[in-house]
């Protein structure tokens, strides 16, 4: 099977590309290295040292005896998108090539407009190229569980049955995205893809993914094959920031009360889920939705887990509550998203959060000097509310 991975230089994209190529898929990666530039723009870098793409491709071939193709280009350029889809003629496209940081999208008008145009235009270009060149290709788009928001009812996988004034219908579940422009762009993506499936009979799987964590997969055999690990306040996830603070001997800064709840999934398991999605395409014209995560945790609960495991590893770790720079509910009493479809396809979580935290903290301890270099970038500076 030929698979095009957009965003192949990214945290998930590089690991997915290696996993697929190692297991017999014909893979071409696409990227313009924008994530490296964006992180540099906010003054930070990956905690794990990551090689250039030519070095990565060579290291992968040396380790596994397999090759991956790569094309440099921007998804906003329809000419490039048409060229690479026409050249490779993929059976599946995994779309990871978007700006994925909430704080980055909230920095100012320029970053808001960039996030919206980058994400929405790139997705539309892919849809048109698939429609015109490979209409039976399966698009797997990386969405976000954050598209749903925090409703006080169970969250289905994409669609639910509604009864109103004596009539019933199955409708898309209402989106109430987390209060930032990034998640708004993801909702627009989902709506556009759903329309393309309806009018062009395309087939697509929309992955509503939780927060991904971890430093390693089965393919990261040596330092040349490491994926990136962002820990700054703009691109680092809450768990990444906690781990970096623990290794630095700093207090774990919980935003507000810490009662926010988020769904999480290990990097190894996210790769497993994406492969299952690739191997189980929907019918022509079908828009399929998977809620992709393992467990949901409260933010204060995560901090306590990092503290406990960090202290076992000899790290002196405490927890501190700080003013929340975001506009969000800080005490979520009910959060219950359904996530059954991937399990029915055979998904089995391989590692617990505690196991992965041990690996993450150990790996970050080896890279402590890189954390020290950018330690002033961990605390938040982007404010959701206008000054």
pLDDT tens track for 100-138: 999 999 999 999 999 999 999 999 999 999 999 999 999
pLDDT in tens, 222-279: 999 999 999 999 999 999 999 999 999 999 999 999 999 999 999 999 999 999 999 9
Beta strands in 201-275 (DSSP E): 203-209, 211-213, 252-255, 261-266
Residue 214 has pLDDT above 90, yes or no: yes
Domain locations in the chain? 2-377
Angle, alpha carbons 224-226-230 (nearest 5°):
135
Rounded (5°) CA angle 148-154-155: 30
Helix or strand or coil: residue 331? strand
Averaged pLDDT for residues 359-375: 98
pLDDT-derived band of residue 387, with 50, 70 and 90 as boundaries?
Answer: low
The pLDDT of 184-193, averaged and rounded, is 98
Mean of per-residue pLDDT scores for the chain: 97
The token duo for 131 is 């429609």
CATH superfamily, region 2-377: NAD(P)-binding Rossmann-like Domain (3.40.50.720)
């Amino acid at each position: 099977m030929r698979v095009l991975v957009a965003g192949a230089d990214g945290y998930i994209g590089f690991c997915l590309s290696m996993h697929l190529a190692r297991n017999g898929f014909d893979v071409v990666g696409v990227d313009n290295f924008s994530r490296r530039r964006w992180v540099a723009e906010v003054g930070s870098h990956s905690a794990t040292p990551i090689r250039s793409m030519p070095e990565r491709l060579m290291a992968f071939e040396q380790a596994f005896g397999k090759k991956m193709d790569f094309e440099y280009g921007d998804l906003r350029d329809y000419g490039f998108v048409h060229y690479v889809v026409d050249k490779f003629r993929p059976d599946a496209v995994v779309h990871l090539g978007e700006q994925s940081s909430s704080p980055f999208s909230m920095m100012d008008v320029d970053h808001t407009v960039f996030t919206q145009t980058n994400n929405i235009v790139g997705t539309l270009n892919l849809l048109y190229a698939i429609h015109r060149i490979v209409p039976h290709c399966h698009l797997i788009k990386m969405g976000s569980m954050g598209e749903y928001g925090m409703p006080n009812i169970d969250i289905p996988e994409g669609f639910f049955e509604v009864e109103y004034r004596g009539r019933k219908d199955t409708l898309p579940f209402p989106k109430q995205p987390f209060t930032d422009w990034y998640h708004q762009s993801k909702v627009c993506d989902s709506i556009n893809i759903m329309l393309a499936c309806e009018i062009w009979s395309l087939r697509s799987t929309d992955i509503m993914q939780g927060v991904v964590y971890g430093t390693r997969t089965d393919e990261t055999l040596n330092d040349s094959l490491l994926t990136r690990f962002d820990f700054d306040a703009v691109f680092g996830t809450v768990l990444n920031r906690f781990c970096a603070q623990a290794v630095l001997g700093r207090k774990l800064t919980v935003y507000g009360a810490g009662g926010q709840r988020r769904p999480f999934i290990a990097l190894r398991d996210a790769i497993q889920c994406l492969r299952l999605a690739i191997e189980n395409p929907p019918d022509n014209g079908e828009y399929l939705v998977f809620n992709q995560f393992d467990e949901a945790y409260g933010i204060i609960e995560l901090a306590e887990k990092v503290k406990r495991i960090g202290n076992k590893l000899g790290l002196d770790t405490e927890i501190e509550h700080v003013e929340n720079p975001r506009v969000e509910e800080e005490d979520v009493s009910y959060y219950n998203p359904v996530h059954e479809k991937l399990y029915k396809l055979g998904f089995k979580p391989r590692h617990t959060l505690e196991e992965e935290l041990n690996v993450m903290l150990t790996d970050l301890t080896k890279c402590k000097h890189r954390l020290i270099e950018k330690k002033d970038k961990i605390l938040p500076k982007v404010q959701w509310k206008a000054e």
